[in-house]
Amino acid sequence: MILTIVAWFLMVFAVWYIPYRLRTLQVFRKGWLWNIAVALAFISYMLLVYNGIYTRNNFIVGVMYNVLGLLFVFLTYLFFFLVLTHPLVLFGSLHKKSIGYVGIILSVLLVGWGFINAQGFTVTHYSLQIDGLEKTVKIIHLPDIHLGTQRGGRYLNKIIKTIEQEQPDIVLYNGDLVDSDIALKPELFSLFKKVNAEQYYTTGNHEYYMNTDRALQLIDGAGIKILRSEMIETHGIQLIGLEYMNADRETYDAHVVNELTMEEELPKIQRDKSKPTVVVHHSPVGMQYMVEGGVGLMLAGHTHAGQFFPGTAIIRFRFPMNKGLYEMGKTKLLVSQGAGTFGPMMRLGSSNEIQVVNLTP
């Protein structure tokens, strides 16, 4: 909550400060036109995101969402650059006009590099020992693909090609598989039928911001087994897919979509605690309940590892366990950076990621 208030304050201040500084640096002439332009860029983008307009099945909305997202980050980087260099200009250490143009060029380069970096993905491999397992099981973990205005058939085909190369036993789509109604097309979801492995899906928060029923219908029709707080035994493991939920009723969650909690729902799922258990949940919360329940491994995503700076530095305050491998007692937690992006189509300080997880006895 405090971070949200600070963010809104900085945005309002930036609407005034950016044009003011660029005018004093003699980059722009005097006038309020630039204040209006900056305000429109910030407000339009926030309306698209917070009002859920970006989820509509509309090509123009999709273009605006992506263009304004990059512009939003450009203005954010420019704002911080101008603030940090303000004292240097005051003391006459730098040429005024030069500092203004350097800020603009540097911000463009950072956004450009972040955009380019968001077009591909890295494949990371983990080998994890799980007590009670009788044979090695190969899993591909894929949260946060975010099919929609940013990701479509071309990107999904690249992911599926990687799956084919890795030849896993199980593929797990751990929430936020889709985030916009524009992606709800049978021809797009038919691509999943090419996967020659067991496929499972758990809900993320973004599926609840759109046509949820249609999304789940297409996922099921693609041959992907949907796990909504239920267990299935496969390849010698008890695989539990938890619907998106909060850890408990005390933990803060900015994306509440139901009244369910891991503290209450996990004990309801009947299982043999002498057998190895893998829990799949979109958000990396509730680790203490995994330990109490004797879970061997929890797989999560949701955080995007902050996606781009400064989010990559701030994310640890919201999610202390935000990427990579963690251990608590006999329970392991593996958090993915996510296979796609949300908001600005950028990766700066993080990467789109496909996790290949070899579970060994």
Residues 335 and 193 in one domain: yes
Residues 161 and 279 in one domain: yes
Q: Which of 117, 143, 163 is the last residue of a domain?
A: 117
As beta bridge partners, residue 346 has none
CA separation for the pair 109, 258 (Å, rounded): 41
Q: What is the pLDDT of residue 92?
A: 62
Residues 205 and 354 in one domain: yes
- DSSP-derived 3-state class of residue 245: coil
Residues 107 and 171 in one domain: no
Q: Which of 117, 151, 175 is the last residue of a domain?
A: 117
How many domains in the chain?
Answer: 2
Q: What is the pLDDT of residue 91?
A: 63
Q: What is the pLDDT of residue 247?
A: 96
Two tokens at 215?
Answer: 């999304």
CA separation for the pair 155, 158 (Å, rounded): 5
Q: Which residues in the chain land under pLDDT 70?
A: 1, 3, 30-31, 89-95
Residues 315 and 341 in one domain: yes
Q: Which of 91, 117, 143 is the last residue of a domain?
A: 117
**Domain range for residue 335?**
122-360
As beta bridge partners, residue 348 has 308
CA separation for the pair 18, 126 (Å, rounded): 45
**Sign for the pseudo-dihedral over CA of 294, 295, 300, 306:** positive
CA separation for the pair 199, 117 (Å, rounded): 28
- DSSP-derived 3-state class of residue 122: strand
Transcribe 21-47 into DSSP letters: HHHHTTSS-SSSHHHHHHHHHHHHHHH
Residues 232 and 331 in one domain: yes
In the chain, count of helices (H) and strands (E)? 10, 12
pTM, rounded to two decimals: 0.93
Tokens 């660029």 belong to residue: 22
Q: What is the pLDDT of residue 196?
A: 95
Q: What is the pLDDT of residue 32?
A: 77
Residues 345 and 210 in one domain: yes
If one counts every other C-beta atom within 10 angstroms of the C-beta of residue 251, the result is 12
